[in-house]
Structure 1
Amino acid sequence: MENGAPVYAETTVPAEQPLGKRPRCVGCTTAHLGRWRLSLKIAQLVLSFAAFVCEEIVEECTLCGGLYFFEFVSCSAFLLCIPVLVLYCTSFYERTGKEKVTQLDFWVVSVVAIVFLLAAIVFSATSDNTATERAAIAFGFFASLAFLVDAIQMCLKKRKAQEERQPENTGNTLNAIENQPLNNQQA
């Protein structure tokens, strides 16, 4: 008090929270994806949105079934990209678990790749060949290619991880008794 310091200064000043105690929902990180996967996910999002927008600009159609199928798939692909990105870039990744997020992402990407490619083929076969339809089809093929590349990359990564987990065969599998621990021997 004599030096001008308040009496209750230490107890009334809010203490800073340690790094592990901060609220977990506020941050956004791209550390779980890496640069390559993040750019691939953003490409999927942008290309599927561009395909959807170009398809929406189409004013007339002779055979509209392919157009409607392409519309549904491109919109669904765009809307499915958003929660996957949210899972990877927020704290939901740790809460949900790496295995579950990776498995969900693999199935979403694989199914969307196949269905988007099918929708682009059907739309290109039934289109009236206008400029907006050609642009939508091109974006659809590029988007399906981005999804396909991601699915293949995830499949190769999964296969590599399985190969690393498998123990090497020492060539001594015939003598299984010799490979048993010593404390199982009878004296």
Structure 2
Amino acid sequence: MENRAVYGPTTEAAPGAGRGGLAACFTLGRLSRPQRVLKGLQLLLSLLAFICEEVVFECTLCGGLYFFEFVSCSAFLLSLLLLIVYCTPLYDRVDAGKVKSSDFYITLGTGCVFLLASIIFVSTHTGTSPEIAAIVFGFMASLMFLFDFGLMLYEKRQESQLRKPENNPRAGTLTEPLNG
């Protein structure tokens, strides 16, 4: 009998076998499907808002533009950083609870500040097409951050509901003496 016939059906390929190079180090499995979509949209929309804002050539009230520029660039870089941490082996080297907690607060903060920057930019823009596009992408990106925060909040509540002990109506009867 050949060794292949004996060991073939029970031998499994190593995890990641068949994938080489960078693909072996990159996985989206740590994020649920809705989170993957939201994180991708956050990344894309914040980048588009930043690019559209960079195309603006002149402004009259530049404070709103500069604040929007800073926030959109920061939002892009923070969402890229979080996606890198979730999708690479770096996630295994840090505490998963701390990553999720950081993601929770970064997403909330970024969504709120991006919304504020978009509102300020709306009140200070001059009405050019790149400004309008940047504002639209800014509002859409801030909504994606806030939706992601809402999803994480919902998942946290579901998780705490599962950990909560059941209310047992017979608990009072169990503390009574048996000889009574």
TM-score range, shorter-chain basis?
0.7 to 0.9
Q: 1:82: which partner in 2?
A: 80
Q: Output the CA distance in 1 between the equivalents of 2:83 and 2:174.
A: 48
User: 1:35 & 1:170 partners in 2: Cα distance?
Assistant: 36
1:153 aligns with 2:155: no
What amino acid maps onto 2:83 in structure 1? Answer: L
- TM (norm. structure 1) is 0.79
In structure 1, distance between residues paired with 2:176 and 2:106 = 47
| Cα distance change of structure 1 residues 174 and 137 upon mapping to structure 2, 3 Å threshold | same
How many residues matched?
A: 160
Counterpart of 1:59?
57
Q: Which moved more, 1:109-118 or 1:32-41?
A: 32-41
Correspondence 1:115 to 2:113: yes
2:48 to 33, 44, 50: 50
User: Gapped runs of 5+ residues in structure 2?
Assistant: 1-12
**30, 33, 38: which one pairs with 2:31?**
33
One-letter amino acid matched to 2:55 = I
CA distance in 2 between counterparts of 1:68 and 1:59 reads 12
- Quickly say closer, same or farther: Cα 1:97–1:19, change in 2 above 3 A: farther
Secondary structure at 2:166 match in 1? coil
Deviates more, 1:100-109 or 1:133-142: 100-109
Hey, what's the Cα distance between the residues in 2 that align with 1:151 and 1:85?
Answer: 15
Change (3 A) 1:86 1:178: farther
- Where does 1:1-20 land on structure 2 (aligned, <5 Å)? 19=14
Identity of aligned residues (%): 48
Shift of 1:96: 1.2
Most deviating of 164-173 and 108-117: 164-173
Segments of 4+ in structure 1 off by > 2 A?
171-179
RMSD: 2.2
Pick the structure with greater CA Rg. 1
SS of the residue 1:45 aligns to: helix
* Partners of 1:139 and 1:117 in 2: CA distance: 11
Quote the Cα distance in structure 1 between the aligned partners of 2:39 and 2:125: 28
Shift of 1:87: 0.9
